Amino acid sequence: MFFVCTPRYTLLRKAHEATENASKRFSHPEGVSNPGFGLNLRFPKGKVQDDAGLNHHCILIVSLEKDFRTAKTEDASRHRKICQVEHIFGKHETTLAEDKMDQIQKQRARHDSLYKAGSRAHILSDDVLVNYVTKWRMHEAFRRLENVAGDRITVDTPILFMCAGEGGEASMLCDMGFRDVTVSDLSERGVEAAISRDSRLKGLVLNAMAADVRDGEYGIVVVQDGLHHLPSPIQGFTEMMRMASVAVVFLEPHDSLVGKLIGTKWEQNGEAINFVFRWSRKLVNDITCSYLCTEKFKNLSFSFWHHNIVFRKLGGRIGGGKIGIGVISAVKVILDVAFGRFGNQFCGLIVLDSK
């Protein structure tokens, strides 16, 4: 799926060029001798004005699908799988766009390989210490969210978990009582691993920067450690806000002095390389104001100290089990209460205005 920002008067010409270029760039899917490429035009509300000013922009969407049957309904569009890697093209930045396409393809290939054998060991672990450490962040985020959102959130609130991989954190939400949780990832193998491991989960293969989901379709949209793998983390965040009707929750690295000094700057997993984008409360507030064009929202974002591996080792040396959990909990209280604003981790938490 290609997003092409272009002046209105060149729309049709760019549509033709994008389709031609796409047909050259992608090989035919296996088993399809003469695939077609569906062309869909979507004009976001308020983006295209009635006048003919050349400075106005619109968005052209060219969908590439293995199954190029283009008939859609509202229900079908939610469950349709994106069969080709999607990509975002900036205006007149074809070279940059191709680089981003390559990055997305490598990320998908890496995750397909990672989840080929199913869920990873820590997701399947029944060790109480491992479970406590891995669940703490999500539990704390939803505790704060429910305290403010109140009865806007129920056990039947639909939740979309983006960049979910094999869905371990999404299962935590089911364990908390939520009954409508959908996992999504660019990796089809990751989604398959998630729904195979936990029958309570639904699954979609989606691009977090350009998801085929209606505005406000889900009550809550969640990402854990996924935005910094995207070519455009900020676009991933605004896409979360577009799909949510109640709240957005994401867990990512904090833009703190500690993070800058000892944190990872670049991540490499196989051939997939990404910059570790870091967040702050002010950055989240500024992006949200800019995207929503209003200050009618609640920014509950917070920073804290957390590291799964370090805390697991600490609890294990103390003896593990409930004693280890008690020690970790005490250390976290001291660090987060006294020095939370300097923490290495960050929770972006936005409660949207009720309409």
Degrees, nearest 5: CA angle 68-74-76? 45
Averaged pLDDT for residues 151-178: 95
210 and 313 belong to one structural domain: yes
Pair (137, 263) in one structural domain: yes
The verdict on residue 89 lying in a domain is no
- Are 132 and 216 contained in the same domain? yes
Q: Say if 110 falls within a structural domain.
A: no
Q: Name residues whose C-beta falls within 8 Å of residue 19's C-beta, 6 or more positions apart in sequence.
A: 37, 39, 62
Q: Report the amino acid identity of residue 160.
A: L
What local confidence, expressed as pLDDT, does residue 123 receive?
Answer: 66
275-323 per-position pLDDT tens digit:
999 999 999 999 999 999 999 999 999 999 998 889 988 998 888 888 9
pLDDT band at 82 (very low <50, low <70, confident <90, very high): very low
Residues 127 and 66 in one domain: no
Domain shared by 132 and 242, yes or no: yes
Flag whether 115 is in a domain: no
8 is a domain residue? yes
Query: Both 133 and 48 in a single domain?
Result: no
Q: Which domain holds residue 261?
A: 121-352
Tokens 């869909």 — which residue? 40
Whether pLDDT at 77 is above 70: no
Please report, in angstroms and rounded to a whole number, the separation of the first and last CA atoms in the chain.
31
Same structural domain, 67 and 169: no
Count the domains in the chain: 2
pLDDT tens column, 318-337: 888 889 999 999 999 999 99
Identify whether 83 is part of a domain: no
Mean pLDDT of 13-28: 43
Please state, in angstroms and rounded to a whole number, the distance separating the CA atoms of residues 187 and 263. 27
Shared domain for 246 and 136, answered yes or no, is: yes
Asked whether the beta carbons of 281 and 253 are under 8 A apart, the reply is no
For tokens 């709240």, what's the residue?
A: 247
Considering the domain architecture, whether residues 126 and 67 belong to the same structural domain is answered as no
Is residue 178, in this structure, part of any structural domain at all? yes
Q: Please say if the pLDDT value at position 74 is more than 60.
A: no
Angstrom CA distances, 285 to 108, 145, 295, 337, 347, stand at: 30, 16, 9, 22, 13
| Beta-carbon-side half-sphere exposure of residue 107 (alpha carbons within 13 Å) | 25
Token readout for 186 is: 């660019």
Domain-terminating residue out of 32, 53, 71: 71
DSSP state of 131: H
Domain shared by 167 and 278, yes or no: yes
**Domain finish residue from 46, 71, 96:** 71
Looking at the fold, whether 20 and 147 belong to one and the same domain comes out as no
| CB contact at 8 A, 115 and 163 | no
pLDDT on residue 270: 80
CATH number of the domain enclosing 294: 3.40.50.150
The least confident of 65-69, 121-125, 150-154 is 65-69
Task: Identify whether 144 is part of a domain.
Answer: yes
The answer as to whether 82 is a domain residue is no
How far is the C-alpha of 345 from the C-alpha of 332, rounded, in Å? Answer: 12
DSSP lists the bridge partners of residue 329 as: none
pLDDT at 308 (0 to 100): 85
Secondary structure (3-state) at 41: strand
Residues 260 and 200 in one domain: yes
Residue 164, Cα to own-chain centre: how many angstroms?
8
Looking at the DSSP bridge assignments, the partners of residue 244 are 218
The predicted model scores a pTM of 0.72
Alpha helices (H) in 157-307, listed in sequence order: 168-175, 188-197, 233-243, 257-262, 281-292
